[in-house]
Structure 1
Amino acid sequence: MDRTDELQKAFSYRWLIFVILALAYLFVYFHRTSLSVVAEDLVKDFNSTASVIGLLGSIYFYCYAAMQLPAGLLSDSIGPRKTVTFFLLLAAGGSVLFGLASSLGMAFGARVLVGFGVSMVFIPTMKILSQWYRKTEFAFMAGLLNAVGGMGVLAATWILALMAEAWGWRYSFELIGVLTVVIVILVWLIVRDRPQSKGWPSIQELDQTEPPATIPLGQGVKRVVKNRYFWPLAIWFFFDCGVFFGFGALWSGPYLMHLHGFSRAESGAILSMTAWGMIIGSPLLGFLSDKILKSRKKVIQLCTAILVLDILALYLGAKDIPIPLLYLIFFVFSVCSSSIVVIGFTSGKELFPVEMAGTSVGTVNLFPFLGGAVFMPLLGKILDAHPQVSQGVYSPEAYSSLLLVLLISCLAALGCSFLMKETY
């Protein structure tokens, strides 16, 4: 086989790998945001409180954050394909167990399995893509992957709401677990860590470039945390993603049902705008950053400022916001709190040499999930601080307090954006 044939086969096969890994990443976002449309059911089924359900949602983020550095180590040692296969199987088991949970303890155990399982998809996928795609293609593929994550949000809001209405939330999570097993099988049978595993030359050889030197993990982490421009970005991630995960991934569903009186299906339809925001916004913000503004910092500042206005509209509008405006508000919320992370990760990568891109992204990736871990139970405690209207149903005053905390957090994120370094 000559060089042209090898090039053609490798370039065709890598798209099959991307599709399978993107499907795996879809389930990462599904589990990340899935509790928002079933939170009310969980409060009632387990006879619990918003604080406890908030903690149940946050367990995912604690597990995810804890595994970001080990994800890089395991990808480098046993390989990303084996890492994704084993841990995604754990996530499948956790999803089935969550559907079968007869107690809160069992539900917490299931969410721990899910959190550990899906935590090992993003960084191994980034490593595999770095082996199959050129450096000039990598940012586009990362944006495309995040757009597929938006489809996971769509599945976790609109589609899960329809499934829960038809079959109940328990059977829905069991079915998701079975579908995850199918993805696991595809990963094992088709995905390969690098072109050389198929007998093809590496991307570096095809491009006639030298592979980058490696920097030890410990040395790389020290360089990251000692960089003064790393911390404004990291704290921005904490607040921005804390707002998105705490509200968008958990309490936005009860907010729409309790404050506005929507059914689960109607709430799911509005929440699906968070998915469309990611699907449309991720590549759009990449284009805005690369081609129009030619800046990372300006895009982050612009989106964070719009996010402040977006949350302010929810806070001031209370229950009087028209339905079409709610659709727009949740779309903008997603673009400015979730799609924007593509620019944040790009900025984090560009702060450091390419040789330590994995370490820098892995380190900064701790902070979005710490934000989710803190904000989910924090917002639950805020709701519990107010009297319930009925079992599992919270008052307008409770949601007003919740939105005020989100607004203050967005202002803190905006302040951090002015302290960042321009990395374009």
Structure 2
Amino acid sequence: MENYILPKKQAIIVFFVFAFGYFLSCLLRAITATLSPVLTSEFNLLAADLGLLAGGYFLGFACMQIPLGYLLDKYGPKKIVSSFLLIALVGTGSFALAESFSGLLVSRILIGVGVSACLMAPLTGYRIWYAENQQQRANSWMLMIASLGFLSSTLPVQLLLPSFGWRWIFGGIAIF
């Protein structure tokens, strides 16, 4: 893959698109912890079931890491992150509509697959499209923005739950 430096305006747009994807990845990774009381009540889940739901995300995520490297090299970060985020959208939407534990679990696996490119695709993109002296700064700022995804999965979700319910929250994330 050939390297070329993006003009400043394009580099900023690329950065925010990638940072938003990684923000979503972190939000979706942690949100089930906040929703665990509601999910436990609605689906009669055990602690082991909650652990499996959390693990489903990581299972999907981990299974894609080796193919992801190949796909990034072959098709580039822009196509891969776009395609993978569509999978995350399907997983997030299906989580909102799930009627059973198995539906929740399959959805979490799809979410994990879908967001699995949200770290490596930006790192690859920054390497290709950013000047060498800007790559580390872009990486650092992206990680900082992503940490806001973890924060957003806590109190903001708890504040929205009484008004909207967990299904609408997931639906909103899918639409967003």
The alignment's TM-score, normalised by the length of structure 1, stands at: 0.40
Q: Which residue of 1 aligns with 2:171?
A: 174
User: Which has the larger helix fraction?
Assistant: 2
Equivalent positions of 1:219-230 (< 5 A) are none
Correspondence 1:152 to 2:162 = no
Correspondence 1:43 to 2:46 = no
Q: Which runs of 4+ in 1 moved over 2 A?
A: 134-137
State the distance in 2 between where 1:139 and 1:69 align: 23
Tell me whether 44-53 or 134-143 shows the greater mean CA deviation: 134-143
Query: 1:102 pairs with 83, 99, 121, which one?
Result: 99
Equivalent positions of 1:342-361 (< 5 A) are none
Question: 1:112 is aligned with what amino acid?
Answer: I
Correspondence 1:89 to 2:86 = yes
Correspondence 1:121 to 2:89 = no
Count of matched residue pairs: 173
Deviation for aligned residue 1:136: 2.5
The SS at the match of 1:102 is coil
Question: 2:62 is aligned with what amino acid?
Answer: A
Query: 1:19 pairs with 16, 20, 37, which one?
Result: 16
Q: Which residue of 1 aligns with 2:30?
A: 33
State the distance in 1 between where 2:64 and 2:34 align: 27
Deviation for aligned residue 1:8: 10
Stretches of structure 2 lacking an aligned partner (at least 5 in a row): none
Deviation for aligned residue 1:9: 7.0
Alpha-carbon spacing, 1:9–1:46, altered in 2? closer, same or farther (3 Å) = closer
State the distance in 1 between where 2:162 and 2:118 align: 30
State the distance in 1 between where 2:82 and 2:153 align: 22
Deviation for aligned residue 1:134: 2.3
Equivalent positions of 1:249-398 (< 5 A) are none
The answer to whether the Cα contact below 8 Å between 2:58 and 2:109 also exists between their aligned partners in 1 is no
Structure with higher RCO (Cα < 8 A, 6+ apart): 2
The alignment's TM-score, normalised by the length of structure 2, stands at: 0.93
Deviation readout 1:32-52 (Å, 9 max, x if unpaired): 111111111111111110111
Bigger Cα Rg: 1
State the distance in 2 between where 1:148 and 1:74 align: 25
Stretches of structure 1 lacking an aligned partner (at least 5 in a row): 1-6, 180-424
